[in-house]
């Protein structure tokens, strides 16, 4: 039996109601990103970073979302801000890629 996008979203939101934590908020951010709902993705990526500011995944997802919106400078600034405090090969790789493509 195939689960519809709406059913998946309802499941994720119910899960977040029960467990307001990093992984459930990150799953919501990923869901919205995958489905092209970038404002919602940004909202949940920010929420995820509030649970764990050292985790790179929300910052990377935020930057990728900003890139999709055509806001590459904002994506670069976010990753630079993150990388001033924490190390992440994946975040650095995305930052380098964004800088190379924005020139």
Does residue 78 contact residue 59 with C-beta atoms inside 8 Å?
A: yes
Count of domains for the chain: 1
Residue range of the domain that includes 12: 5-102
Is 35 a residue whose pLDDT tops 70?
yes
- pTM here is 0.90
pLDDT in tens, 53-92: 999 999 999 999 999 999 999 999 999 999 999 999 999 9
pLDDT at 1 over 60: no
pLDDT score at 4:
81
pLDDT class for 2, splitting at 50, 70, 90?
Answer: low
CATH code at position 42: 1.25.40.10
Q: Please say whether the beta carbons of 37 and 45 come within 8 A.
A: no
pLDDT band at 6 (very low <50, low <70, confident <90, very high): confident
């Amino acid at each position: 039996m195939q689960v519809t996008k709406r059913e998946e979203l309802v499941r994720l939101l119910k899960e977040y109601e029960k467990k307001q934590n990093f992984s459930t908020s990150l799953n919501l951010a990923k869901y919205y990103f995958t489905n092209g709902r970038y404002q919602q993705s940004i909202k949940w990526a920010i929420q995820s970073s509030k649970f764990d500011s050292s985790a790179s995944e929300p910052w990377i997802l935020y930057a990728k979302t900003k890139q999709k919106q055509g806001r590459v400078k904002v994506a670069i600034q976010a990753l630079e801000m993150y990388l001033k405090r924490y190390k992440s090969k994946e975040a650095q790789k995305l930052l380098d890629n964004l800088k190379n493509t924005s020139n």
